[in-house]
Structure 1
Amino acid sequence: MSHSYPIQPIPAVGAVVFKDQSVLLVRRGQPPNQGLWAIPGGCVQLGETLQGAAEREIWEETGIRIRAHRPIYFFDTIDRDGEGRVRYHYVIVDLLADYLDGWPVANDDALEARWVTPSELDSLSVSEATLNLLRGGQGKDAFPSGWR
């Protein structure tokens, strides 16, 4: 299924995964936000729950095993081409997730994958949605103390 120039919005998920005082981020290898650091995730497949999609996508992109829980952040990404046509339209639900095991290794659509501390966030080119999530407030009650 092509994700560019869709006929309707595409549902997608991300997983907010903490290990100690670090959050799991990937540097995106595909548009939108190509080259920027972001919460890892991807598209929901037909018949898949949000939690199942998040667990699968994080494993595919990073090699990290997680257990996904409740949604904590919702947003959409709409990108238009030079003629105003919708090139990408994702409706994204980020879920809080428990880290189970593994070490970040970039796979699939990710150029890089790593654990990032709050103090490192300013030195990276991070997507606006990820900054809003990590610095915003939605769901922060469940974040480790260094992220609140």
Structure 2
Amino acid sequence: MWKGAAAVCINSEFKLLMVLQGKPEEEKTWSVPSGGMEKGETFEQCCYREVWEETGYRVNVRQQLHEKNGEVFGSGFIVRYFRCDVIGGEPVLQDPDGLIYDIAWKSADELHALPLTFPEDLPFLSSMLSSRQSAG
């Protein structure tokens, strides 16, 4: 079973931290910072490491917001999404896998217009942006 974590970072302007990613031969698409767990990691540690590797930001991993389970290519997967607050760092392309092409903060309107790596995440991510904005 593949296990991974994803970060939902929303800034004071109610924009979501996203990365443009893909293999060199693929069309590039947008997603929240995410990736697979390494041996010995917790989901929270994976989330922290993936944000750092993919964006250069340091985060405080706060709480689990969502869990996605399924099967792909005959193998099960689980991804836990965490609310994270950026507490330091600078945006820098430093992904060790070489799969990140851009780092950007996207508004709710922009989110709906982007080609998403995981289009099934759109309702969840949209609800996170609108709930944070209404909580003000």
Name the TM-score class by shorter chain. Answer: 0.7 to 0.9
Note the alpha carbon deviations across 1:90-114, whole angstroms, 9 max, x for none: 3111111111123333332322211
Cα displacement (A) at 1:22: 0.9
| Match in the other structure for 2:133 | 145
Look up the SS of the partner of 2:10 in the other structure: strand
Q: 1:125 aligns with which of 107, 115, 118?
A: 115
Distance 1:146 1:27 in 2: 27
Q: 1:111 aligns with which of 98, 101, 116?
A: 101
Q: What letter is aligned with 1:15?
A: A
Q: What letter is aligned with 1:134?
A: L
Do structure 1's residue 12 and structure 2's residue 4 form an aligned pair? yes
Cα distance change on mapping 1:103 and 1:133 into 2, 3 Å: farther
| Match in the other structure for 1:41 | 34
Distance 1:26 1:134 in 2: 14
TM-score between both structures, scaled by the size of structure 2: 0.79
Q: 1:13·1:93 contact (CA, 8 Å) conserved in 2?
A: yes
| Match in the other structure for 1:4 | none
Q: What letter is aligned with 2:38?
A: Q
Look up the SS of the partner of 1:93 in the other structure: strand
Distance 1:54 1:60 in 2: 10
Which runs of 5 or more structure 2 residues have no equivalent in the other structure? none
Cα displacement (A) at 1:55: 0.7
| Match in the other structure for 2:125 | 134
Cα distance change on mapping 1:14 and 1:34 into 2, 3 Å: farther
Note the alpha carbon deviations across 1:14-45, whole angstroms, 9 max, x for none: 01011111110112224xx9622111111112
| Match in the other structure for 1:3 | none
| Match in the other structure for 1:64 | 57
**Structure (1/2) with the larger helix percentage:** 2
Identity level (%): 23
Give every structure 1 segment of 4 or more consecutive aligned residues whose post-TM-superposition deviation is greater than 6 Å. none
Q: 2:10·2:129 contact (CA, 8 Å) conserved in 1?
A: no
Distance 1:147 1:44 in 2: 32
Distance 1:117 1:147 in 2: 16
In the comparison of the two structures, how many residue pairs are matched?
130
Look up the SS of the partner of 1:144 in the other structure: helix
Look up the SS of the partner of 2:79 in the other structure: strand
